[in-house]
Structure 1
Amino acid sequence: MENQEYSVGLDIGTTKIVAIVGRRNAHGKIEILGVGKAKSLGVHKGIVNNISQTINSIKAAVAEAQSSAGVPIHKVTVGIAGKHIRSLQHSDYIMRENPDRFITDDDIEALKDQVKKLVMLPGEEIIHVLPQEYKVDSEGEIQEPVGMHGKRLEANFHVVVGQMGSIRNIARCVREAGLEMEALTLEPLASSEAVLTKEEKEAGVAIVDIGGGTTDIAIFKDNIIRHTCVIPYGGGIITEDIKEGCSIIEKHAEQLKVKFGSAVPELEKDSTFVTIPGLHGRPDKEISLKTLAQIINARVEEILEMVNTELKAYGAFEQKKKLIAGIVLTGGGSNLKHLRQLANYTTGFDSRIGFANEYIANDKNQYLKGPEFATSIGLLMESLKIRDKKTVAVEEEIEIEADTKVEQKEAQTNANAESQTQTTPQIEEEFKTPVQTSRPSKPTFGQSLMEKVKKFFEEVE
């Protein structure tokens, strides 16, 4: 199998690193070829804090993915998150040299390149330049300007910015793991590709991806990205709270959260307990599920309040910006029992859990159904989209080249025909030129009269 036939998404998370290999089938759905998963040892709150451990974790995940897929992995599309991520709104424009020609993708890329030259804070770098809506001359609210005519091309942009050091560290880890980074994508954007529908993006929706170290948010309205942010808290801090509150080790705290945890204490009974084995001969410890839920609830409410603050910052409670489709919860943290009910109560918006298997064609054992795979599947989808664009570009280039050859051939044929047309009349003219003969000309009246007079005098003599 050629490398061009498949793509790879690499999710470098705080708790796990996942590599997914896939390709698009004849029906447009994604066929998963292989999955690799490894514990993330060198990442904290979405930021690499141990290069060598992160490299080893990436190698382990990629090796497992290669083994299960049976193909070599060279290029990967990588996700980025972390508390250093911020976003801003920016408007910019270009004046087109030839307004008689219609606007092309090259004009839009030129406008994006101009935005990328914005001066950021020291140590920051632009990750994404996302057009929201365009304006051509005096016409505004244009979604797709390609094919239109105009002198001034203007657009509103959503610009995603991150710390240069964090970006360089991720790139170095990927490179030293023997891989080439095809693209770097903001994780909430990748997750939204995997779990949101076009109708939800049109109506207005917020995706809240609760990962191990961060909670990533992306807000869409009118099918346009409106707001992104990263909250530096996730499922890991809930585990830490359980560990401290119940005086148990982290391994047991994580198991308690996953198997028995709840976000709403009122739905748990006081009489229900779970037993935790003691360490090295120490007595077992009994923990009330209601107490466990109270510990979890305190931290989850704090995270949801931060989500609410971001929704208010966007203006989600205004009538024109209202999120009709509400909230979609995804990521490993969204597996927490009763989280959806608490989110509904805290934010006032209807919510659902976003599963990432809607676009997967061959997930028969439902292994990838869990929301914890939303980001990695979204990164795979982004990688496939990049490949599709490259394929289309190559096909267009081949088509243009073929058209050019046809035009050149036609021009040569026309030139030859014209040359023959210019030569033929000369030849025909040469053959059609009348041949001069020596036939005697008919004498005039004066000449006849003189002949008769001359003859008369000769006879008289």
Structure 2
Amino acid sequence: MENQEYSVGLDIGTTKIVAIVGRRNAHGKIEVLGVGKAKSLGVHKGIVNNISQTINSIKAAVSEAQSSAGVPIRKVTVGIAGKHIRSLQHSDYIMREHPDKFITDDDIEALKDQVKKLVMLPGEEIIHVLPQEYKVDSEGEIQEPVGMHGKRLEANFHVVVGQMGSIRNIARCVREAGLEMEALTLEPLASSEAVLTKEEKEAGVAIVDIGGGTTDIAIFKDNIIRHTCVIPYGGGIITEDIKEGCSIIEKHAEQLKVKFGSAVPELEKDSTFVTIPGLHGRPDKEISLKTLAQIINARVEEILEMVNTELKAYGAFEQKKKLIAGIVLTGGGSNLKYLRQLANYTTGFDSRIGFANEYIANDKNQFLKGPEFATSIGLLMESLKIRDKKQIIIDEEEAVLEKQQLEVAAKTVETNVAPQPAAPVQEQETAREQQENKRAARLTFGQSLMEKVKKFFEEVE
């Protein structure tokens, strides 16, 4: 199988690193060829803080994905998050040299490139330049300007910015793991590709991706990305709270959260306990599920209040910016029991859990259904988009080359079948004399025949 037939998404998370290999089938859905997962060592709150450990974790996940897929992995699309991520709004324009010609993708890219030259704070770098709405001359609120005519092309942009050092560290880890980074994508944008519908993006929706180290938010309205941010708290800090509150080790705290955790204490009984084995001969410890829920609830409410603050910053409670589709919760943290109900109560918006298996064609055992795979599947989808765009460019170049070859061949055929040059005048005259002699010979023969016929009848008479 050739490398261009499949794509790879690599999610470098705080708790786990996931590599997913896939391709599109004949119906446009994604066929997953292989999945690799490894415990993430060296990443804290979405930021690499140990290069060698992160490289080893990436190698482990990629090796497992290669084995299950049976294909070599060379290029990957990587996700980025972390508390260093911020976003801003910016407007810019270009003056086109040939307004009589229609606007092309090259004009859009030229406008984007101009935005990428913005001066950032020291140590910052632009990750994404996302067009929102265009304006051509005096016409505004244009979603797709390609094909239109105009002199001035203007647009509003959502610009995502991150710390240069964090970006370089991720790139180095990927490179030293023996891989080539095809693209770097903001993780909430990747998650939104995997779990949001076009109708939700049109109506207005906020995706809240609760990962191990961060909670990523992306807000859409009228099919346009309006706001992105990263909250530096996730499922990991809930585990830390349980560890400290119950005086148990991290391993047991994580197991308690996953198996028995609840976001609403009022829905848990006082009389229900769970037993935690003691360490090195010490007595077992009994923990009330209601107490556990109270510890979890305090931290989850804090995270949801931060989400609420971001929604207000966007203006989600204004009539024109209202999120009709509410909130979509995804990421491993969204598996927490009663989280959706608490989100409804805290934010005032209706919410649902976002599953990433809608676009997967061969997930028969529902292995990829869990919301914890939303980001990695979204990165795979982004990688497939990049491959599709490259294939379109290759097809266009091949079509141009084929057209040129046909034109050359047509000229060659015309040359070969062109009429021969006229013979010299003397040759033409000789040929004419020969024709006349033949005509004369035929005429003489006819006359002699008539003479013989006449003579025959005269003798008879």
Match of 1:274, SS state, is strand
- Deviations 1:17-62, CA, capped at 9 Å, x for gaps: 0000000000000000000000001000000000000000000000
Give the CA deviation at 1:96.
0.2
Distance 2:284 2:261 in 1: 19
Cα distance change on mapping 1:111 and 1:285 into 2, 3 Å: same
Cα distance change on mapping 1:447 and 1:121 into 2, 3 Å: same
Distance 2:356 2:156 in 1: 30
* Structure 2, gaps ≥5 residues long: 417-422
TM-score (structure 2 length as normaliser): 0.88
- Deviations 1:209-245, CA, capped at 9 Å, x for gaps: 0000000000000000000000000000000000000
Cα distance change on mapping 1:150 and 1:248 into 2, 3 Å: same
Cα distance change on mapping 1:451 and 1:28 into 2, 3 Å: closer
Cα distance change on mapping 1:446 and 1:292 into 2, 3 Å: closer
Distance 1:147 1:230 in 2: 36
Match of 2:386, SS state, is helix
| Number of the residue aligned with 1:429 | 435
Give the CA deviation at 1:409.
4.2
Distance 2:195 2:177 in 1: 29
- Deviations 1:339-360, CA, capped at 9 Å, x for gaps: 0000000000000000000000
Give the CA deviation at 1:307.
0.2
Give the CA deviation at 1:443.
37
| Number of the residue aligned with 2:149 | 149
Distance 1:109 1:35 in 2: 34
Cα distance change on mapping 1:98 and 1:277 into 2, 3 Å: same
- Deviations 1:264-305, CA, capped at 9 Å, x for gaps: 000000000000000000000000000000000000000000
Cα distance change on mapping 1:456 and 1:185 into 2, 3 Å: closer
Distance 1:217 1:85 in 2: 11
Distance 2:15 2:297 in 1: 21
Match of 1:366, SS state, is coil
Give the CA deviation at 1:192.
0.2
Cα distance change on mapping 1:293 and 1:110 into 2, 3 Å: same
Match of 1:318, SS state, is coil
Cα distance change on mapping 1:390 and 1:409 into 2, 3 Å: farther
Cα distance change on mapping 1:51 and 1:149 into 2, 3 Å: same
Give the CA deviation at 1:444.
42
Distance 2:86 2:425 in 1: 67
- Deviations 1:381-435, CA, capped at 9 Å, x for gaps: 000000000001113553465xxx4798499879xx9999999999999999xxx
Cα distance change on mapping 1:456 and 1:29 into 2, 3 Å: closer
| Percent identical residues | 92
Give the CA deviation at 1:459.
56
| Number of the residue aligned with 1:119 | 119
Cα distance change on mapping 1:75 and 1:449 into 2, 3 Å: closer
Match of 1:358, SS state, is helix
1:68 and 2:68 aligned: yes
Distance 1:453 1:356 in 2: 108
Match of 1:59, SS state, is helix
Give the CA deviation at 1:178.
0.1
Match of 2:41, SS state, is coil
Distance 1:396 1:223 in 2: 32
Cα distance change on mapping 1:399 and 1:447 into 2, 3 Å: closer
**Segment of structure 1 superposing worse, 443-452 or 49-58:** 443-452
Match of 2:441, SS state, is coil
1:398 and 2:402 aligned: no
Distance 1:360 1:456 in 2: 106
Distance 2:259 2:453 in 1: 148
Divergent runs of 4+, >2 A: 395-401, 405-414, 417-432, 439-461
| Number of the residue aligned with 1:436 | none
Distance 2:460 2:430 in 1: 65
Cα distance change on mapping 1:173 and 1:449 into 2, 3 Å: closer
Give the CA deviation at 1:457.
59
Match of 1:141, SS state, is strand
Match of 1:443, SS state, is helix
1:364 and 2:364 aligned: yes
Cα distance change on mapping 1:18 and 1:446 into 2, 3 Å: closer
Distance 1:56 1:85 in 2: 25
Distance 2:244 2:139 in 1: 59
Give the CA deviation at 1:117.
0.2
**Segment of structure 1 superposing worse, 179-188 or 387-396:** 387-396
Distance 1:375 1:19 in 2: 11
Cα distance change on mapping 1:32 and 1:454 into 2, 3 Å: closer
Distance 1:45 1:233 in 2: 7
Cα distance change on mapping 1:426 and 1:118 into 2, 3 Å: farther
Give the CA deviation at 1:121.
0.2
Cα distance change on mapping 1:149 and 1:276 into 2, 3 Å: same
Distance 2:114 2:427 in 1: 53
Cα distance change on mapping 1:320 and 1:277 into 2, 3 Å: same
Distance 1:427 1:205 in 2: 96
| Number of the residue aligned with 2:254 | 254
Distance 1:165 1:3 in 2: 30
- What are the residue-to-residue correspondences of 1:252-331 with 2, within 5 Å? 252-331=252-331
Cα distance change on mapping 1:248 and 1:400 into 2, 3 Å: same
TM-score (structure 1 length as normaliser): 0.88
Cα distance change on mapping 1:356 and 1:419 into 2, 3 Å: farther
Distance 1:426 1:443 in 2: 17
Give the CA deviation at 1:9.
0.1
Match of 1:83, SS state, is coil
Cα distance change on mapping 1:194 and 1:456 into 2, 3 Å: closer
Match of 1:374, SS state, is helix
1:338 and 2:338 aligned: yes
- Deviations 1:118-143, CA, capped at 9 Å, x for gaps: 00000000000000010000000000
Distance 1:190 1:427 in 2: 89
Give the CA deviation at 1:454.
53
Give the CA deviation at 1:258.
0.2
Match of 1:441, SS state, is helix
- Deviations 1:134-179, CA, capped at 9 Å, x for gaps: 0000000000000000000000000000000000000000000000
- What are the residue-to-residue correspondences of 1:27-66 with 2, within 5 Å? 27-66=27-66
Distance 2:366 2:448 in 1: 123
* Structure 1, gaps ≥5 residues long: 433-438
Match of 2:271, SS state, is coil
**Segment of structure 1 superposing worse, 302-311 or 450-459:** 450-459
Give the CA deviation at 1:334.
0.1
Cα distance change on mapping 1:459 and 1:26 into 2, 3 Å: closer
